[in-house]
Structure 1
């Protein structure tokens, strides 16, 4: 799990531990992500399955894509499909993925890179492995997160952000036991590169065996953690979680995650993603590739797609 790393985290800016008086967020729920398949058949884990949307808002869904070692000819992607009313955030840890959309956005992302697509009023897009990866096979692992847009922004023009791994803010804990890759949002005054319409924080953390990380967390944000590899505990009550498990934190000004003293042989550290966002608290209607506020708006999205008003596939793609 290379993503973006450094040999010595102690050279990085440090996130100050919150005051001991800062209220700690309790753990409300730990769930296991069920497996499934997406697109042309690549395996995913549904990180938010079974979690009350009141705890997720403004996030809609998150899939862990892989981790899978493809044989030659096996890598898969998604065919052309529409979106409206939200943002997709694709964070690649291992492998290569190519994005293209009908609004002119696109690019190739590799381990440590993030592509941030604001669908807004609507577009068509495709995600696929490059031809060389299809021929050779190889490791593929990443996340795709869906972030809701408030009603006032749902019909904004589409936008695409290509966030290379070299742009991510790299931070550490006071003792250097954590490597924090801040993709979007703010932690202790440090800012990630992602430009968000809905205020959120997204970070990928590597925690050394036996290390503990306590971070300040905006009290108006929710807080979630998802295990990518390894094992540890969440909260001061030390609720166990690890690969494929999602933690929902309650209210407070800080949160704590600890890595178990012994980790898996395939992953020397405890790897997890931290998410937080400012709840939108508006009605939400989600069906397939569209996320709107009302059933009538969902119907309009389908009508507009069928009428070709969400864009057309580029000519060279047929």
Structure 2
């Protein structure tokens, strides 16, 4: 980890929070429970137990892996439907093949992001390629669910395939942190992801002992999730201590104009840096009703989605799959 990097972050554009920015305090740190998804690959439910008012417009996020598969072990998901939201699959290590009932599909490699707008609905499958099943290997990634506002819930499905090389690479003010800006804007720099709901998504690698402070839009919420390593979150100084967090823990920030994370001086041997995903979004502030793979505004819309799925109106599984 990670798939997209540079030897010297000091060669990259630097980002720093303006002087006098109101720092965001940490409201809560939550530990993600572990479970199995699809055909049995391990996941951490990153936002389990966090009140939705702090997540909106995000619905959930799974950390897939990190797991080293033996030959014959790699697993995926069976065919399943989606309606009413977007799935963002960010692969750090490994390879995934995806296919849908509308004829879409492709391969996601380490460093790539696949942005699928389910909209009015489709059937979808994700699985490792046969070569990876045969050989085994490392698999690690994230899948984030982003809600769609009521006006966009029934738009036609579409994809954005964001190759690792398209991600905007930035550095912290002293070069101690490498930032991969997947979506959103930070201090005039834009990520390649195009979103219906304004969001920011960053994967940061923070060197041991380094501090990262970023400007953050005041109208956005703010979340951090530890992919690997140990650190603290929240503004320090003036007697205020940052809140510790580590691999598999999510941080909820309060209001403000900047956010700070720091890497501990000592990191675990398997990960030399603190690896953290930073997320922010403009809350939709509409009713959110979820039933499995359907995310709508009302119970009646959920019932209709389930009825449409059973009637084959979300698509049918291709006969050649």
Task: Provide the residue aligned with 1:242 in structure 2.
Answer: 246
Task: Provide the residue aligned with 2:270 in structure 1.
Answer: 266
Matches within 5 A, 1:147-186: 147-186=146-185
Structure 2 Cα separation of the partners of residues 67 and 147 of structure 1: 22
Structure 2 Cα separation of the partners of residues 123 and 9 of structure 1: 41
Task: Provide the residue aligned with 2:24 in structure 1.
Answer: 25
Tell me if the contact between 2:17 and 2:258 (Cα under 8 Å) persists in the aligned partners: no
Identify unmatched segments of 5+ residues in structure 2: 236-240
Structure 2 Cα separation of the partners of residues 226 and 18 of structure 1: 24
Q: Deviations over 1:199-227 (max 9, x none)?
A: 10000000000000100000010000000
Structure 1 Cα separation of the partners of residues 314 and 82 of structure 2: 8
> Are positions 1:294 and 2:298 aligned together?
yes
* Cα deviation, residue 312, structure 1: 1.4
Structure 1 Cα separation of the partners of residues 22 and 158 of structure 2: 38
Task: Provide the residue aligned with 2:3 in structure 1.
Answer: 3
Task: Provide the residue aligned with 2:61 in structure 1.
Answer: 62
Q: Deviations over 1:122-153 (max 9, x none)?
A: 00000000000000000000000000000000
Tell me if the contact between 2:176 and 2:207 (Cα under 8 Å) persists in the aligned partners: yes
Task: Provide the residue aligned with 2:45 in structure 1.
Answer: 46
Q: Deviations over 1:276-304 (max 9, x none)?
A: 00000000100101000000000000000
* Cα deviation, residue 18, structure 1: 2.1
Structure 2 Cα separation of the partners of residues 306 and 197 of structure 1: 28
* Cα deviation, residue 174, structure 1: 1.3
Task: Provide the residue aligned with 1:139 in structure 2.
Answer: 138
**Secondary structure of the corresponding residue to residue 315 of structure 1:** coil
Structure 2 Cα separation of the partners of residues 45 and 306 of structure 1: 29
Tell me if the contact between 1:18 and 1:214 (Cα under 8 Å) persists in the aligned partners: no
Structure 2 Cα separation of the partners of residues 16 and 69 of structure 1: 36
Q: Deviations over 1:215-240 (max 9, x none)?
A: 00000100000000000000013100
Structure 2 Cα separation of the partners of residues 229 and 38 of structure 1: 20
**Secondary structure of the corresponding residue to residue 316 of structure 1:** coil
Tell me if the contact between 2:82 and 2:293 (Cα under 8 Å) persists in the aligned partners: yes
Structure 1 Cα separation of the partners of residues 295 and 286 of structure 2: 12
> Are positions 1:283 and 2:287 aligned together?
yes
Structure 1 Cα separation of the partners of residues 167 and 5 of structure 2: 11
Runs of 4+ in 1 over 2 A off after TM superposition: none
Task: Provide the residue aligned with 2:238 in structure 1.
Answer: none
TM-score, structure 1 normalization? 0.98
Task: Provide the residue aligned with 1:37 in structure 2.
Answer: 36
> Are positions 1:71 and 2:70 aligned together?
yes
**Secondary structure of the corresponding residue to residue 166 of structure 1:** helix
Structure 1 Cα separation of the partners of residues 224 and 47 of structure 2: 11
Tell me if the contact between 1:64 and 1:141 (Cα under 8 Å) persists in the aligned partners: yes
Cα RMSD of the aligned pairs, angstroms, is: 0.7
Q: Deviations over 1:255-276 (max 9, x none)?
A: 0001101111111110000000
* Cα deviation, residue 103, structure 1: 2.2
* Cα deviation, residue 105, structure 1: 2.2
TM-score, structure 2 normalization? 0.97
Task: Provide the residue aligned with 1:16 in structure 2.
Answer: 16
